[in-house]
């Protein structure tokens, strides 16, 4: 069977796949992109974008409640018309889909709404039997949420199911202590649900700085979220009073209307023909890649969640773009630097972080110094709110090079980006001190830490 010729075939139309396709086309390559589902992948459809919409709504609810203490004629406990909120969310996402379709047409990328399977290092077969041939194949098929292997797991949902909710459930249990669990807990609580976090370990966000995650746990409790550590959920059972979670070592069973698992994600590698072609996988099931996003098979590359590297949309986008800059843009050294990648947990309040935690810094460097600032933001103070802010800076060496910045508090998500640039450029503590503060802001505390 003859195959349609392309320069690049991309499997997956999420953040990484779209970025790779657009950048390759901009460099003059002939590109085919296979995506059988909605464009934008997890991020646009059941991840970053709809999550931020819900977080913004939750943030507004909290600010409206604060406004009443400042004299505004608003309800102290505001409620939201959930169907209207979901309609606005859908309209926003529909706009993104339309924008992607326009860009695909304008750039000449052939969008094929089918799955693809590798036949060899240069040939992909579509669901309908059509074959595509290319010098380079890029796998960008993303990941999916996991459920634990316990009895009754089918009674619980995952993060995808959160976005299918048509109303806030009265009582919610979220199983997990990572960023997805923390984000969903804050949103649901602010929008009216009674929320309990069931955390297997003894702290939240184990990859982040322990001092700040401890403060975050207290902030969540201040918001009325139940945070229970050391909870090993053994089974879910349906009873007249709802769904009961049976936990190891605890005689009492807690009842909930909805249970959501936030217990990890796995790469989408099934059915791609990887084994037959010889693409090596990690023990986790992710595609093994080198620093240039190459797999074990020449001509086949992979970007984004399917590689098991940090599951962040901007990293998938950067990896896809730099890969195509290297292959078609005349930039042979182009690749992603995975050090000092900034990230934000959209908790309540938000938690932004770049670089090493204090624990990781002490394990790596001989000399480590830390600086911090604890305060109540102005709006919280004016409105008698109880949310606290904790900013922390981690420095290494005699010159106190900044190796970690961790911000927990209002506007942390917006503050960090500029400081992440400074850290990438090798900023020192002295240079931070020499920078004049912008007053009155929360951001000024980053350069005033003691």
Predicted confidence (pLDDT) at residue 249 exceeds the cutoff of 80:
no
Which residues span the domain enclosing 96? 4-144+266-328
Nearest alpha-carbon partner for 55 in 198, 195, 219, 190: 190
Predicted confidence (pLDDT) at residue 335 exceeds the cutoff of 80:
yes
Mean pLDDT of 16-21: 98
Is residue 18 included in any domain, yes or no? Answer: yes
d(CA 29, CA 197): 48
Task: Please check whether residues 235 and 93 belong to one and the same domain.
Answer: no
Is residue 339 included in any domain, yes or no? Answer: no
Q: Report the pLDDT value the prediction gives residue 98, as an integer from 0 to 100.
A: 98
Q: If you average pLDDT over every residue of the chain, what do you get?
A: 95
Mean pLDDT of 55-69: 92
DSSP per-residue letters across 118-151: EEETTEEEETTS-EEEEEEEEE---EEE---S-T
Token pair recorded at residue 364? 């790596």
Let me know: does 159 contact 168? Beta carbons within 8 Å: no
Q: Report the pLDDT value the prediction gives residue 96, as an integer from 0 to 100.
A: 98
Mean pLDDT of 15-22: 98
Q: Report the pLDDT value the prediction gives residue 1, as an integer from 0 to 100.
A: 64
Task: Please check whether residues 137 and 11 belong to one and the same domain.
Answer: yes
Task: Please check whether residues 18 and 110 belong to one and the same domain.
Answer: yes
The residue ranking higher by pLDDT, 1 or 267, is 267
The residue ranking higher by pLDDT, 17 or 381, is 17
Nearest alpha-carbon partner for 303 in 6, 10, 8: 10
Q: Report the pLDDT value the prediction gives residue 251, as an integer from 0 to 100.
A: 67
Q: Alpha carbon of 134 to those of 62, 123, 131, 307: distances in Å?
A: 52, 7, 10, 21
How many independent structural domains does the chain possess? 3
Which of the four pLDDT bands, split at 50, 70 and 90, describes residue 126? very high
Q: Alpha carbon of 140 to those of 135, 156, 308, 326, 358: distances in Å?
A: 16, 28, 11, 17, 34
Q: Report the pLDDT value the prediction gives residue 400, as an integer from 0 to 100.
A: 98
* CATH number, position 84: 3.50.50.60
Q: Alpha carbon of 316 to those of 16, 24, 230, 312: distances in Å?
A: 4, 15, 33, 7
Is residue 202 included in any domain, yes or no? Answer: yes
Mean pLDDT of 234-240: 92
Task: Please check whether residues 365 and 440 belong to one and the same domain.
Answer: yes
Condensed to tens digits (0 to 9), the pLDDT of residues 268-313 reads 999 999 999 999 999 999 999 999 999 999 999 999 999 999 899 9
Annotated catalytic residues are 439
Whose structure tokens read 């102290």?
76
What pTM did the predictor assign? 0.95
Task: Please check whether residues 273 and 259 belong to one and the same domain.
Answer: no
Task: Please check whether residues 215 and 277 belong to one and the same domain.
Answer: no
Task: Please check whether residues 232 and 270 belong to one and the same domain.
Answer: no
């Amino acid at each position: 069977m003859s195959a349609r010729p392309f320069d690049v075939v991309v499997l997956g139309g999420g953040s990484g796949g779209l970025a790779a396709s657009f950048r390759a086309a901009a460099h003059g390559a002939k590109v085919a992109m296979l995506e059988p589902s909605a464009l934008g992948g997890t991020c646009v459809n059941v991840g970053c974008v709809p999550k931020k919409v819900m977080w913004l709504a939750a943030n507004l609810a909290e600010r409206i409640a604060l406004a009443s203490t400042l004299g505004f004629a608003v309800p102290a406990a505001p409620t939201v018309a959930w169907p209207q909120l979901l309609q606005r969310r859908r309209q926003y996402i529909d706009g993104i889909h339309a924008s992607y379709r326009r860009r695909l047409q304008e750039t000449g990328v052939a969008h094929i709404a089918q799955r693809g399977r590798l036949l060899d290092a240069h040939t992909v077969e579509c669901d309908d039997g059509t074959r595509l041939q290319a010098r380079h194949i890029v796998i960008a098929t993303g990941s999916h949420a996991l459920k634990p292997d316990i009895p009754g797991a089918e009674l619980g949902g995952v993060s995808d199911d959160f976005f299918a909710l048509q109303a806030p459930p009265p009582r919610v249990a979220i199983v997990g202590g990572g960023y997805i669990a923390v984000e969903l807990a804050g949103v649901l609580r602010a929008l009216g649900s009674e929320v309990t976090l069931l955390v297997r370990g003894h702290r939240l966000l184990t990859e982040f700085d322990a001092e700040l995650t401890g403060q975050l746990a207290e902030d969540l409790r201040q918001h009325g979220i139940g945070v229970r550590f050391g909870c090993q959920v053994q089974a879910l059972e349906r009873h007249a009073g709802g769904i009961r979670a049976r936990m190891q070592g605890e005689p009492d069973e807690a009842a909930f209307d909805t249970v959501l698992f936030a217990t990890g994600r796995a790469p989408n590698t099934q059915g791609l023909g990887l084994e037959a072609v010889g693409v090596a996988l990690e023990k986790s099931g992710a595609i093994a890649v080198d620093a240039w996003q190459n797999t074990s098979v020449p001509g086949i590359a992979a970007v984004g969640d399917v590689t098991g590297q940090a599951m962040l949309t901007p990293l998938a986008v950067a990896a896809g773009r730099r890969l195509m800059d290297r292959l078609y843009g005349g930039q042979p050294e182009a690749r992603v630097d995975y050090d000092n990648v900034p990230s934000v947990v959209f908790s309540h309040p938000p938690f932004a972080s770049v670089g090493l935690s204090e624990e990781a810094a002490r394990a790596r460097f001989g000399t480590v110094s830390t600086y911090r600032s604890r305060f109540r933001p102005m709006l919280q103070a004016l409105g008698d709110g109880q949310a606290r802010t904790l900013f922390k800076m981690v420095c290494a060496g005699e010159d106190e090079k900044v190796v970690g910045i961790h911000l927990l508090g209002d506007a942390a998500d917006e503050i960090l980006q500029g400081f992440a640039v400074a850290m990438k450029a090798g900023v020192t503590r002295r240079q931070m001190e020499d920078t004049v503060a912008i007053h009155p802001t929360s951001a000024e505390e980053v350069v005033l830490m003691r």
